A and B are shown apart, each in its own frame.
Chain A
Amino acid sequence: MILVKNGHVIDPVNGINEEMDLFIKNGRISSEFKINEKECEVIDAKGKLVVAGAIDIHAHIAARKINSGRAMRPEEFRRVRQKTGKFRAAVGRTLLTAPAIGYEYVKMGYTTAIEPATPSLYTLHTHEELDSIPIIDKAALPLFGNWHLVFKFIAENDIEKLASFISWVLEKMKGYGVKVVNPGGVEAWMYGSNAHSIDDLVPYYDVSVRDIITGLIKANEMLDLPHSIHIHCNNLGEPGNYETTVDTMKLANGIRNNRRQVLHVTHVQFNAFSGSGWKDMGSGTEEIIKLVNKSDNITIDMGQVIFGHATTMTADGPFQFDLHKLLKNKWINLDVELETGTGVVPLIYRPSSPVHSVMWAIALELGLLVNPDKNVISTDYPNGGPFDRYPYIMTLLLSRKYREKEMERAHKYLQRAANLPSIDIERTLEDIVKMTRSSPARILGMHNKGHLGEGADADVVVYDINPAEFNPDKYREIEKALSSALFTIKGGTVVVKNGKIAGDIWGRTMWVDATLRTTAEIIEPDLEEYFNYYTVNRENYGVEERWMRRAERIEVG
């Protein structure tokens, strides 16, 4: 039992922004008020900020992709973050080892992270890596947007079959939701091509990108899964691509869910470029921001770029190949039979680069102007940069002064090509709590997370920030406080004290079982047929719960 006393609690879900005590019992927040302090570990949080554990909605923290990146980039692991001792050794610059991932997250007060792109054929590997990440809770989203069986069901216009297939896959793979990456485009890459608009057709199956997206939204809503579909749009990283993003968002028109959005568009920065080429590339956020703010069925995450080293890794095979050609840098590609592709290319974001500076600004425009209830902080780790720089992003959003200082470092082209210089807004602490806690929790449908009401997971963070005396001009102090939590409590265990790891536990891996809502029988003949084309036997395809360290099945239906 833990009592967090007299802290300044900010919990937007429960309308709290005031000094109060928090009582933790059996791994949950309790509303008992007759508490015997002698039986509790008491944390004095007077004059400190107390919030729920943060959630990373989109970070490539496990799976074949990041691991091939590690194998290709030994140069990433010369930074020592922690020597072996009571806890594991932890190393890595932007690519981290599995132990380092868990430790670095909780040091900043993050207690949950989502691996957003697992090829099903390789998902057992994904779970092995997730199982090696200490402390945090996690989940994985299987990739659907270029799966032959998805094309087939879309071509047959059979949403019921598609829904059955989704629930079959989530159960087989112990997956949490539906990820879509460059729908149709990755399959086109198998022919050396790509998809450039939502009206492009997929070779062989003759279905359009538009049909794939709407079909998957409808199937996802038929199942009423906790999370909506989670999409990485076509044309990522291309000047002028904001139009494709707007077109994609409009596909959600008229489809509703009263609990949450029906379309989550991820790392939008990479898909919010204007211009016709690299020479006139600029910010294309304006229309996107308007559209998201006026819709109640679309949410986004930022995809902030951090100046410095990064490693791009996506299921977007053709994009990664283009990037390899552009940068002439080393390149990993992995085409996955019948399901998807993958690529990895290292990259450095330089403030001296006009394009990189504009990208940096685009994400901040989104962070400052999109309603915090519909927006989440992300770097698309490790694509935009390392997740341990989230405190930097938060502080940029909180402090105009800090932004101005950073803008001086960036290329002057930004002044012309982005709207950021004219934005005065400073986000409040409550906004930041939304963009890191309550919004991702609601978007993901994790109702025990992102807030501190009775029964919520006891994932609690105490920061050395006094909201009553908050001064955004003191940005160095703010960034430092957000980087290094005074206390992080995960599921009722203190895991961080004064920015240092204090406890090592294993979190859960959440997965969604929607099989009650569907019948696998209607897709049986299709599965039989397509398993002739796999190189793994159908009986050996998938992941069993007993192979996982701490699986948590979430049943819907």
Chain B
Amino acid sequence: MENVTCTFCGAVCDDLYFDGDEFRTKDFCPLGEAKFSRKKRIEYPTIDGKKVSYEEAVERAAEILHNSKRPLLFGWSSTVNEAIRLGVILAEKVRGIYDQCASVCHAPSVLAMIEEGIASGSLGQIKNRTDLAIFWGCNPVEAHPRHPTRYSVMARGLLTKGRADRKVVVVDVRKTVSALMASHFIQVKPGTDYLVFSAMRALMEGYEDAVPEEVGGVRKEKLIEFVEMIKSAKYITILFGLGIAHTRGHDRNVENVIKLVQLINRYTRCILQPMRGHFNVVGAGEVAAWECGFEWAVDFSRGYPRFAPSEFTGVEALLRKDCDAALIVASDPAAHFPRAAVEQLKRIPVIQIDPFPNMTTLLSKVVIPCAISGIEAEGTAYRMDGVPIRVKKVVESEYWSDEEILEKMLEKVLKLRED
């Protein structure tokens, strides 16, 4: 089948070929290919390791959630919006906590956005207009392998016709493979991005005297040159990753680069794009925002949504032992959460919905396998720039989709509430 959408990373390529009968792929990058290959699956629903029917598993899951005082509903970044929406409603109805993978990933970027907003654009703005692309603290070649060819570095657009029309700068603490595609590489000392952004803002506004000879390991002349390069470009895109959001300064780093972008827009045009990881982590935030007002770390225990990123994230709620049950969808917190949080997960009943077995499977009481979004189930996902793209069903499957499972679960929960 042509025009298949990959459901691995936030680049959500939609120009791929996949033969579902033979699991043959064309044009995928290695990461996407790995996702679209035959892999070990969870074979059937289980309760305490014993095989049960879908109906039984869903029924038991609904009972657990219904009887829990404040269940945690976590994951969501690797499923489709239709399932996420049901997840948010389920969290509301069982008065639990809705949290998603962003809370352990780009949460600092979202916090910075709450402070400052963000000047951004769709990825086509890089392809069609950008004559200066700056990758800062991210490594697209390894994390979003087709991003450079499809959208950013080599992409051929309307006004910027290809690589020759576009300068590419990589800023990072070490020379990554992505630096090889750059025309300029700027090496900064770890944990100094904030300082470098501040220096650039000062230079931008003509306060050259305020900038020392060296900032974050970068010589002043080089920074001046960089700022001049920015000022003389027509349309700049800055792409950033966890190298900014997860290092010293966290959300303050992102806030500072947002302010730099605001300033650049007084001289020329500039947009900023976070390189989001899982294919639908943007959807996991957007859907929650329209359903309950907040993107992550939402508590419904009072019957209405409250947001507190220092209290209602999955990790924090587990560390405080606030949750007495958990529903984990399309995610593996047992592998990624801090040890103490995982210990708490082991003490409470956990329900898992996932196509593949992982560490979380081992500690789950109820395990419900599902169809793989984008291969066996369709739905909508949001690319890293928020562009909505349908992911397709290309293979028939006996597995229920996340959407079907959650729909039944919600029905059961509402029924229990009525009784």
B158 lies within 8 A of A74 (CB):
no
The contact sample of 27 A-B pairs, CB cut-off 8 A, is A70-B289, A71-B289, A72-B114, A84-B303, A88-B92, A89-B292, A89-B303, A95-B293, A121-B124, A125-B286, A132-B291, A148-B158, A190-B235, A204-B159, A325-B266, A334-B122, A335-B120, A335-B122, A336-B122, A337-B125, A338-B158, A345-B117, A532-B156, A534-B124, A537-B14, A539-B3, A547-B390
What mask results when residues 180 to 193 of chain A are scored 1 for a CB within 8 Å of chain B, else 0? 00000000011110
Q: Which of A82, A191, A539 sits near B234, CB closer than 8 Å?
A: A191
A71-B285, A192-B269, A324-B262 known; A337 and B122 CB under 8 Å? yes
Closest to B386 in A: A64
Chain B, range 277-303, C-beta contacts under 8 Å to A: 285-287, 289-295, 300, 302-303
A413: interface (CB < 8 Å): no
Interface size class, chain B: 35 or more
A132-B85, A536-B14 known; A74 and B307 CB under 8 Å? yes
- Which of B14, B150, B269, B303 has the most A CB atoms < 10 Å from its CB? B269
Q: How far, in Å, is B415 (CB) from chain A's closest CB?
A: 13
Q: Besides the contacts A70-B293, A91-B292, A335-B120, what 19 more A-B pairs have beta carbons closer than 8 Å?
A: A83-B303, A85-B303, A88-B92, A95-B293, A97-B292, A124-B380, A132-B290, A190-B235, A321-B265, A331-B117, A331-B262, A333-B121, A333-B265, A335-B122, A335-B271, A336-B124, A336-B125, A533-B157, A547-B380
Distance between Cα atoms of A80 and B116 in the complex (Å):
25
B119: interface (CB < 8 Å): yes
B207: interface (CB < 8 Å): no
Distance between Cα atoms of A510 and B121 in the complex (Å):
29
Judged by DSSP, the binding face of A is mixed
B211: interface (CB < 8 Å): no
Q: Which residues of A contact B388 (CB under 8 A)?
A: 122, 124-125, 128
B202: interface (CB < 8 Å): no
A533 lies within 8 A of B128 (CB):
yes
Closest to A530 in B: B158
A535 lies within 8 A of B293 (CB):
no
Interface residues in A, total, Cβ within 8 A: 60
Chain B, range 298-330, C-beta contacts under 8 Å to A: 300, 302-305, 307
Q: How far, in Å, is A542 (CB) from chain B's closest CB?
A: 9
B123: interface (CB < 8 Å): yes
A71-B113, A333-B121, A547-B380 known; A190 and B269 CB under 8 Å? yes
The 6 closest A-B pairs by CB, nearest first: A337-B124, A77-B293, A335-B121, A83-B303, A124-B388, A330-B117
B293 lies within 8 A of A337 (CB):
no
Q: Which residues of A contact B285 (CB under 8 A)?
A: 71
Distance between Cα atoms of A535 and B151 in the complex (Å):
7
B129: interface (CB < 8 Å): yes
Chain B, range 221-280, C-beta contacts under 8 Å to A: 234-235, 262, 265-269, 271
Q: Which of A67, A324, A536 sits near B286, CB closer than 8 Å?
A: A67
Q: Which residues of A contact B150 (CB under 8 A)?
A: 535
A89 lies within 8 A of B305 (CB):
yes
Q: Which residues of A contact B144 (CB under 8 A)?
A: none
Q: How far, in Å, is B301 (CB) from chain A's closest CB?
A: 11
A535 lies within 8 A of B123 (CB):
yes
Q: Which of A80, A83, A89, A337 sits near B128, CB closer than 8 Å?
A: A337
Q: Which of A91, A191, A324 sits near B305, CB closer than 8 Å?
A: A91
Q: Which residues of A contact B89 (CB under 8 A)?
A: 88
Q: How far, in Å, is A325 (CB) from chain B's closest CB?
A: 8
B269 lies within 8 A of A84 (CB):
no
A504: interface (CB < 8 Å): no
Q: Which residues of A contact B115 (CB under 8 A)?
A: 330
A74 lies within 8 A of B120 (CB):
no
A77 lies within 8 A of B294 (CB):
yes
A540: interface (CB < 8 Å): yes
Chain B, range 96-146, C-beta contacts under 8 Å to A: 110, 113-125, 127-129
B290 lies within 8 A of A98 (CB):
yes
B79: interface (CB < 8 Å): no
Q: Which residues of B contact A536 (CB under 8 A)?
A: 14, 387, 389
What mask results when residues 79 to 123 of chain A are scored 1 for a CB within 8 Å of chain B, else 0? 010111100110110010111000000000000000000000110
B114 lies within 8 A of A124 (CB):
no
A77-B293, A88-B92, A191-B269 known; A128 and B81 CB under 8 Å? yes
A332: interface (CB < 8 Å): yes
A83 lies within 8 A of B304 (CB):
yes
A72 lies within 8 A of B300 (CB):
no
Closest to B156 in A: A532
B209: interface (CB < 8 Å): no
B3 lies within 8 A of A97 (CB):
no
A84 lies within 8 A of B289 (CB):
no
Q: Which residues of B contact A332 (CB under 8 A)?
A: 113, 117-120
A89-B304, A338-B124 known; A76 and B116 CB under 8 Å? no
Q: How far, in Å, is B341 (CB) from chain A's closest CB?
A: 24
Closest to A123 in B: B388
Distance between Cα atoms of A332 and B118 in the complex (Å):
5
